[in-house]
Structure 1
Amino acid sequence: MKNFRHLDLNLLRVLAAIHRTRSVTAAARALSLSQPATSNALARLRGFFEDDLFVRSPKGLVATRACEAVAPQVEAMLRELESLVAGPQAFLPAESDIRWRLSLSDLGEMMFLPPLVAALREQAPSTQLVNLSVAAEDLPQVLEAREIDFAIGILHPRQRGIHADLLFSEEYVAVSSPGWAPRKGGRTRTRLTQEQLADAHLAVAAPAATFHASVEQMLQRLQITNRVAVRARHFGALADLALGSDLLTIVPAMYARDLQRRQGLRTWTLPQAAAARYDVRLVWHTATAQDPAQVWIRALVQKLFRRGVATPASGVSAARRSR
């Protein structure tokens, strides 16, 4: 029985070249070898396979049956190996059927998914997009395991190997029904006082996926957590809660603008002492940093959603920035 470990794998390149050219001389030229070296390699191949492999004919070398059983597969495997070593091919979005996996919270689905899907349907219509909502604390491990490709959200990654690109920064605001007004301290046009906020009954959301706990921290800082009448897991219910009650909801400004446009809810600026900003970032793992398909989808996300960022952090490791 032949022992594969005893075979010099460089000989397989010679086998494939002679099979392709039907000539030792032509194979030597293709491999940039001397003819004696190529003849010596053929002799070693014959010894290993215990077969002539090639016999002479008026039209050049003809492969034996044993050679024909091996050489075509060797050629195919060498081509595949060369392609692998050469690196990934250019990504052609119009021709790709790749399946991208991302993590978005429920608010992220509402805000980011429609424009992203619309762009993909136009530019990469055969691709697929799947949201696998991941808890923020689990995100680094899930990215490293390649269970998802990227995430968009209110994220502050610090782990080594995780890259983050700041898309935009905004503040939280309060949203109410059109007829709601603060009971204390006089009515202002758009900004609530700290006293008015402390007097209101609140509804807040704290989804686990791609979300930061800055709202809860703000409530604790102002010592008004007892004013929270409803804590929802998702943002989707907050608009109906505000419309159908006297509850004041605290939401990201981007969502408030959408609610004001679609449902006519009223937006209030929070008092300065309650101001809480949030950063929305695109996050991915260094293992996908150079992948052409991943580079393309990240560039699309950045084009669609980046705004008001003076010095983008694209490609900079969050772990290095936190040192």
Structure 2
Amino acid sequence: MSEPMHDLNFLYLVDALYREGSVSGAARRLDLTQPAVSHALNRLRARFGDQLFVRSGAGMAPTPLGERVARGAARALALIQSDVLAEPLFDPRQSERRFTVGMTDMGGTVILPKVMQMLERQAPGITVQPKVASSSEIGSMLEHGAVDMAWGYFGRLGPGLYQQSLFRRALIGIRRKGRRRAAMTLDTFVNTPHVLANATAVTNELLQQRLKERGHTLRIALECPYILAVPAIVAGTGYIATVPDELADLFQRLAEIETFPLPLPVPDITVKQHWHARFNDDPSHRWFRAKVFECISGHGSAGDADSE
């Protein structure tokens, strides 16, 4: 062959000629005219320096080189069909896919247990690899493939990413359990030593921004990197903390604390799952996202995703 073949349509032409044994049959198979097939065959003969297919009886038979090229074309087309053109199959009960998921403590505490219960029932071979992720780094982790998706309250992450709301939660205060207490005033709230969990950094910023708008600054006694230490610290001191109500419910089972409504309006937080555009149409990823949405939001089918 004098020069490389850049147009892979010749594979379909050779395969059709070999299978049909005639120019007219190949033309019907390829939905082309007979002159078009004859012209293409002549170009191939010139490229390969061989007749490739010659007249034999009522049809055409391959030369030795034509036989080799035709068999190679059949293998190449089968590979293209199976690895490129065929729609990928995904069977959750047979899959052993591992999903690496970036998550906040909220994602790990609230979402992960429910998802693992779902997988145990419906897809026991699929596993989840949790990865601690902060709001400042999760966008890059998704973009560079360090994680397949992310769960939590991260704020807006940037272009090229999709998001889907899973649930909304109000922020609520927690304090040491005690006898008859007066309602928490705003002045008392801002002047009482506060524990901030590093894991809820975006929530902390939201709270402090709302206080700043009202001319107040929160009195921060401790910034704690361990979310599960917060209820014990609050139960054993006069400190208070502000957390999503789902975490407050959990904390009340872990320590002697009680909840109180915040003395200023703060918007609810929306916990979401996020993923990169390149995974949007992947069958296994699509199935997993839909199941996460179903078991966390309580809806039977996934809602629409928005690009960020």
Normalised by the size of structure 1, how large is the TM-score? 0.76
The residue aligned with 1:127 is: 126
Q: Which amino acid letter does the alignment assign opposite residue 282 of structure 1?
A: Q
Q: Is the aligned partner of 1:74 residue 2:73?
A: yes
Counterpart Cα distance in 2 of 1:91 and 1:201: 53
Gaps (5+ residues) in structure 1?
Answer: 319-323
Counterpart Cα distance in 2 of 1:234 and 1:64: 75
Deviation of 1:39 after TM superposition, in Å, equals 3.8
Please state whether the residue corresponding to 1:96 is helix, strand or coil.
Answer: coil
The residue aligned with 1:321 is: none
Q: Which amino acid letter does the alignment assign opposite residue 295 of structure 2?
A: L
1:104 and 1:209 in contact (8 A); partners too: no
Counterpart Cα distance in 2 of 1:290 and 1:161: 14
1:171 and 1:253 in contact (8 A); partners too: yes
Counterpart Cα distance in 2 of 1:297 and 1:195: 46
Counterpart Cα distance in 1 of 2:303 and 2:134: 23
Q: Which amino acid letter does the alignment assign opposite residue 93 of structure 1?
A: P
1:7-156 map, 5 Å: 8-54=7-53, 63-67=62-66, 69-82=68-81, 86=85, 88-89=87-88, 91-156=90-155
Q: Could you tell me which of 243, 266, 282 is aligned with 2:273?
A: 282
Deviation of 1:222 after TM superposition, in Å, equals 6.7
CA RMSD of aligned residues (A): 3.6
1:218 and 1:276 in contact (8 A); partners too: no
Q: Which amino acid letter does the alignment assign opposite residue 30 of structure 1?
A: R
Q: Which amino acid letter does the alignment assign opposite residue 13 of structure 2?
A: V
Change (3 A) 1:198 1:35: closer
Q: Could you tell me which of 218, 223, 228 is aligned with 1:225?
A: 218
Aligned length: 305
Normalised by the size of structure 2, how large is the TM-score? 0.79
1:215 and 1:276 in contact (8 A); partners too: no
Deviation of 1:272 after TM superposition, in Å, equals 2.6
Counterpart Cα distance in 1 of 2:62 and 2:216: 86
Deviation of 1:113 after TM superposition, in Å, equals 0.9
Counterpart Cα distance in 2 of 1:212 and 1:250: 8
Please state whether the residue corresponding to 2:170 is helix, strand or coil.
Answer: strand
Counterpart Cα distance in 1 of 2:63 and 2:228: 71
Deviation of 1:231 after TM superposition, in Å, equals 0.5
Deviations 1:256-311 (CA, angstroms, capped at 9, x unpaired): 11222x32543312333264532212223344333333322222122122269xxx
Q: Is the aligned partner of 1:292 residue 2:277?
A: no
1:134 and 1:209 in contact (8 A); partners too: no
The residue aligned with 1:162 is: 161
Deviations 1:158-181 (CA, angstroms, capped at 9, x unpaired): 634433322222222223444x46
Q: Is the aligned partner of 1:255 residue 2:247?
A: yes
Counterpart Cα distance in 2 of 1:139 and 1:196: 35
Deviation of 1:21 after TM superposition, in Å, equals 4.4
Counterpart Cα distance in 1 of 2:33 and 2:10: 14
Q: Which amino acid letter does the alignment assign opposite residue 120 of structure 1?
A: L
2:164 and 2:305 in contact (8 A); partners too: yes
Please state whether the residue corresponding to 1:229 is helix, strand or coil.
Answer: strand
Aligned identity (percent) is: 27
1:164 and 1:314 in contact (8 A); partners too: no
Q: Is the aligned partner of 1:204 residue 2:203?
A: no
